[in-house]
Amino acid sequence: NAGVTQTPKFRILKIGQSMTLQCTQDMNHNYMYWYRQDPGMGLKLIYYSVGAGITDKGEVPNGYNVSRSTTEDFPLRLELAAPSQTSVYFCASSADRVLNTEAFFGQGTRLTVV
């Protein structure tokens, strides 16, 4: 019963490097989300997807890209890493848009850009 799995758990990037944060869920959820959590702050929505092939921007999308080719996977791409992207990233999924259920969160990816 894996739920939402994120990889890697930790990563250090140099400024200008690129990387992909992986997120997979095995609950057949249509809705998936990427949030970032800055120190002392709540989570902010980066991108979300309502189904395979459909993505949309959240509150803080600049510097990121996403794709959703399958129901299970929702990778987050950083093309040119910047120190401002140092954060903890959480992927989440939910079954229902009206959210008569809770969002299931992954364990998080702690990213440091130096």
Give me the least distance between CB of 68 and other proteins, in Å please: 13
Give me the least distance between CB of 16 and other proteins, in Å please: 27
What lies within 8 Å, CB to CB, of 20 at 6+ separation is 75, 76, 77, 78
Question: Binding residues for other proteins, per CB under 8 A?
Answer: 31, 33, 35, 40-45, 48, 50, 56, 58, 88, 90, 92, 94, 96-105, 107-108, 110
**CB 37, CB 91: distance < 8 Å:** no
Of 26 and 56, which has the nearer Cβ to other proteins? 56
Of 18 and 107, which has the nearer Cβ to other proteins? 107
Give me the least distance between CB of 105 and other proteins, in Å please: 4
CA–CA distance, 75 with 109 (Å, rounded to integer): 12
Give the C-alpha distances (Å, rounded to integers) separating 80 from 15, 17, 20: 7, 5, 11
**CB 92, CB 26: distance < 8 Å:** no
Of 13 and 35, which has the nearer Cβ to other proteins? 35
Give me the least distance between CB of 80 and other proteins, in Å please: 26
Of 36 and 78, which has the nearer Cβ to other proteins? 36
Rg (CA), the chain: 13
